[in-house]
Amino acid sequence: ELKVEQNPLFLSMQEGKNYTIYCNYSTTSDRLYWYRQDPGKSLESLFVLLSNGAVKQEGRLMASLDTKARLSTLHITAAVHDLSATYFCAVDGGTGNQFYFGTGTSLTVIP
């Protein structure tokens, strides 16, 4: 079965610091998605990475994909409190819209 692992599971960081969340997966998929979830809310799409070497940036977040290493990273630059949320990566199963989600990384940015 396709497995998606994220680390760390929990991340507490100070405002202004940089950090990276890692997402490893066990399939040869070349599509990877990042979502954000605020407490009690649904999933908000952040990035769609569709090929090896893809890099996308939005504000203080940058995501990249290395399909050969089966690894995606979500880099946070100069964190601010508003980025506090849980971040999920997801990989498609290749047979339709069947996503396999990582365990999630709960990010807390401390002022």
Partner 1 sequence: KAGVTQTPRYLIKTRGQQVTLSCSPISGHRSVSWYQQTPGQGLQFLFEYFSETQRNKGNFPGRFSGRQFSNSRSEMNVSTLELGDSALYLCASSWGLSVDEQYFGPGTRLTVT
Interface contacts to partner 1, rule CB under 8 A: 31, 33, 35, 41-45, 48, 88, 90, 92-104
Closer residue to partner 1 (CB): 97 or 111: 97
Query: In angstroms, what is the minimal distance from the CB of 84 to partner 1?
Result: 18
Query: In angstroms, what is the minimal distance from the CB of 27 to partner 1?
Result: 12
Query: In angstroms, what is the minimal distance from the CB of 24 to partner 1?
Result: 15
Closer residue to partner 1 (CB): 43 or 62: 43
Closer residue to partner 1 (CB): 15 or 38: 38
CA 43 to centroid of chain Cα atoms = 12
Q: What is the 3-state secondary structure (H, E, C) of the chain?
A: CCCEEEECCEEEEECCCCEEEEEEECCCCCCEEEEEECCCCCEEEEEEECCCCCEEEECCEEEEEECCCCEEEEEECCCCHHHCEEEEEEEECCCCCCEEECCCEEEEEEC
Query: In angstroms, what is the minimal distance from the CB of 76 to partner 1?
Result: 21
